[in-house]
Structures are given as C-alpha cells and as structure tokens.
C-alpha cells in the first residue's frame, strides 16, 4: 500500500510541473508580447490568472473562499498570506483580481520557463544581500505609482520545520505599507501544505480553503507603528489557522 501511495505522490509531483510548463509553452508568444511594455502588465496578469486556474483545477484542487472584504477595483493593496507551498502563488492569483506583483525569492528565477517570466514581472529579493533588500522598496514604489498592488509572504520563506503553523513575520512588508499609505490585505491559506508541501512524497487533490480578511488601513500610521501592524496582521492569520472558520 505504501508503495502505491508513494507512486501516486511521484506522479502527482510530475503532473504539477507538467501543468506549470505546458500553458506557458502554449501561450509563450502572447506572454512575451504582454511583458514588452510596463502598461501591458494588467493583461499579463490576466493570463497569469488563467495559468493559475489550469494548475489548480488540473491538480484537482478546488478553492473554497470566505470573503470578509471585497477588494475595490483600481485600489492598491499590500497582499500578505501565510506561506507553506509553491501553490500559494497560484492560489493568490486565483483569489485576487486586482493586478499585483509578487515580491519573491530570487532562486525561483532558476526554474525553467516559469523563471523566464518570474524574473521579468516580479520583484526579486536575495534576503542575504542588503542592497537587494533595499531595491525591493525602490521597485515596489515604482509599481505602486503605476496603480498596481504588491504581494509579499511576510514569513520570508517556507519554514523548514513543517510543524510550524505560522513563522514570525519580517518587518519589510509593513514598512512598505506604511510608507506608501496602502492598506494591508491579509489572507489565510488553510490547506496548501496538505495539497502540495515541500516534502516530496506528499500531497494530493482536495479543497483549498481561503479566508479573505478585512483590510487594515495604514493612512494614519507612522513608521514606528510597523511592529504593531506586523503583529496585528500575524494575529489575524494565526487566529484563523487555529480556529478554521471555513468547513472542509
């Protein structure tokens, strides 16, 4: 029985990367055109949402969303969520219609095909490099000035210890929100670790529960309030992870 279960997990992993690559290959010419000019990014974002849906539904993963807040079209937000899986990227794209750019690890740019577009459309950060961390704020400011939103996973990466429910948050996302007076939009992803964790022989199809929380305004906050904002945001996500207000 364990042999067949492991075989399924291997096939499931391979199938994920097939689903990741094939739509990119099929849409490659139009994807390339969509990133030639900065003002065309919203069109690229729509294509990225199609790509995300293909992967999620192709893997048998079905989002179940509880919304406490409806995002306003044309408004900029700082989207933040807990981070446990590579499918967090696809789920964020599925849930959120407001065009945004990811702030993500530079290492992901090495993934074939995916990395080609990732490094041209996302804000890459090498957390071990102070200059790279500073450049995140410069690039984020440019995207926000164009009316886009920004998405950051504030844990700074997926915890190596999968028993950790929610790791500590880094300050950078909340400094960015306060400096640019954009509301923080927390989301809680419940099942992504179970669907597709970083443990190779694991995962499987099923429901992906998402709670879209009310946004946290930052208009009256000062930079010294960033720790308070960080703790408030983390508490919202942690409480939802612990109580699970969305039934399976």
Q: How far apart are CA 208 and CA 89, in angstroms?
A: 13
pLDDT value, residue 32: 93
Supply the mean pLDDT for the chain: 91
CB neighbourhood size of 225 (10 A):
15
Contact 134, 45 (CB under 8 A): no
- The closest of 71, 83, 70, 240 to 169, measured between CA atoms, is 83
DSSP 136: H
pTM value is 0.93
pLDDT above 70 (res 2): yes
Q: CA 137 to CA 113: how far, in whole Å?
A: 26
Q: Is 206 helix (H, G, I), strand (E, B) or coil?
A: strand
- Reported as a pLDDT band with limits 50, 70 and 90, residue 123 is confident
User: Are 21 and 27 within 8 A, CB to CB?
Assistant: no
Is 185 in a helix, a strand, or coil? strand
How far apart are alpha carbons 47 and 44 in whole angstroms? Answer: 5
pLDDT tops 80 at residue 113? no
Rounded Cα distance, 240 and 210, in Å = 10
Counting residues of the chain whose pLDDT is more than 90, the rounded percentage is: 68
Q: Name every residue whose Cβ is closer than 8 Å to that of residue 89 and which is 6 or more positions away in sequence.
A: 52, 102, 104
**pLDDT tens, position by position, 198-220:** 888 889 999 999 999 999 999 99
Query: Which tokens is 213 given?
Result: 């929380």
Kindly report, residue by residue over 139-150, the tens digit of the pLDDT. Answer: 888 888 889 999
Cα-based distances in Å from 247 to 34, 65, 101, 199, 210: 39, 11, 30, 25, 11
Q: How far is 212 from 215, CA to CA, in rounded Å? A: 9
pLDDT tens, position by position, 42-53: 999 999 999 999
Whose CA is closest to 102, among 89, 111, 84, 86?
Answer: 89
Going by pLDDT thresholds of 50, 70 and 90, the confidence category of residue 91 is very high
Secondary structure E strands in 82-152: 100-105, 123-125, 149-152
Query: Does the pLDDT value for residue 163 go beyond 90?
Result: no
The whole-number pLDDT of residue 131 equals 67
Q: What are the DSSP calls for 13-38, one per residue?
A: HHHHHHHHHHHHHHHHHHHHHHTSSG
Q: Is the pLDDT of residue 130 over 70?
A: no
The mean per-residue pLDDT over the stretch 91-96 comes to 97
Given pLDDT bands bounded at 50, 70 and 90, which one contains residue 175? very high
Position 118 scores a pLDDT of 84
């Amino acid at each position: 029985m364990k042999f067949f279960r492991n075989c399924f997990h291997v096939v499931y992993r391979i199938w994920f990367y097939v689903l990741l690559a094939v739509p990119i290959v099929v849409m490659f010419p139009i994807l390339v055109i969509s990133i030639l000019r900065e003002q065309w990014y919203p069109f690229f974002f729509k294509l990225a949402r199609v790509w995300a849906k293909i992967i999620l539904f192709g893997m048998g993963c079905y989002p179940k969303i509880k919304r406490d807040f409806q995002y306003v079209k044309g408004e900029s937000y700082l989207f933040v969520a807990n981070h446990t899986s590579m499918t967090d990227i696809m789920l964020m794209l599925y849930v959120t219609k407001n065009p945004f750019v990811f702030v993500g690890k530079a290492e992901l740019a090495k993934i074939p095909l995916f990395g080609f577009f990732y490094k041209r459309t996302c804000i890459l950060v090498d957390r071990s490099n102070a200059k790279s961390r500073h450049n995140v704020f410069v690039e984020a400011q440019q995207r926000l000035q164009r009316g886009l939103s920004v998405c950051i996973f504030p844990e700074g990466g997926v915890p190596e210890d999968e028993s950790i429910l929610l790791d500590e948050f880094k300050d950078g996302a909340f400094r960015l929100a306060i400096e640019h007076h954009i509301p923080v939009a927390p989301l809680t992803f419940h099942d992504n670790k179970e669907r597709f964790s970083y443990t190779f022989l694991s995962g499987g199809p099923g429901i992906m529960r998402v709670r879209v929380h009310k946004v946290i305004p930052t208009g009256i906050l000062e930079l010294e309030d960033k720790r308070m904002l960080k703790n408030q945001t983390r508490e919202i996500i942690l409480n939802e992870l612990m109580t699970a207000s969305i039934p399976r």
